Amino acid sequence: MRKVFVVLTGAGISAESGLKTFRDAGGLWEGYRIEEVATPEAWQRNPRLVLDFYNMRRREVKRAQPNMAHLKLAELERQFDVRIITQNIDDLHERAGSSKVLHLHGEIFKMRSSLHPELIYPIEGDIHPGDCAEDGAQLRPHVVWFGEPVPAMADAIAWVEEADIFAVIGTSLQVYPAAGLLFQLSQHRPDVPVYIVDRQIPDVPIHPGWHLIEQPATRGVAIMADRLLSSYQS
């Protein structure tokens, strides 16, 4: 039976595909503050600005291409039961070929009713003011804003509980509850091998025996894959 390899990815893995993050410039994303475009209060205050912002993000994601880190994780499905928990709203893991991807913070190519979160629809173009769901409510991006609950956490925790190997790639481990997945694993299942891949290893408690790979995601994931294959190939 193949080992269950659970991977938590963050903005650092998509940054090498050209997608910027809030943390690139002290909390700014191309001149926008988080409070202006990524909170329920921002939506109530200026929904047109929020729609425009995510319409721009959607166009950027469409132009971006999966990088070697995305592709290498997809390749590892040949040897492992790879399950990717991502904090990213882009679809680069799916386009790279990964078959099990759980989006903690939503998906840029989906939209939903602003009143009933279960009314979700695919979208490729822009969302405009006046575009409504079947319940008559304004459509909004299907993303989890700061201050909103993370419905996918229960599924993420279930995956982590089944992990034989765990990796963290391209995340600062500063955004909760996602960051809590690693700490939950280290407390309750300290026997599970952990790989951390990042340009700068996060400032978190490091356990003895963890594999730290301080490299950009494209290089670091390749190193990690080589080590995994050497350790687990029969």
For residue 88 the two structure tokens come to: 């990213």
Do 7 and 100 lie in one domain? The reply is yes
* pLDDT above 80: residue 30: no
Its domain, for residue 136, covers 20-63+110-143
List pLDDT tens digits, range 104-134.
999 999 999 999 999 999 999 999 999 999 9
List pLDDT tens digits, range 175-231.
778 778 988 888 888 899 999 999 988 887 788 889 999 999 999 999 999 999 998
For residue 2 the two structure tokens come to: 């193949």
Do 37 and 57 lie in one domain? The reply is yes
Torsion of CA 175, 12, 44, 52, to 10 degrees: 180
Strand partners, 202: none
Do 36 and 76 lie in one domain? The reply is no
Out of 97, 125, 143, pick the residue that ends a domain: 143
**Residues carrying an active site annotation:** 105
* pTM of the predicted protein model: 0.93
CA distance 110 to 141: 7
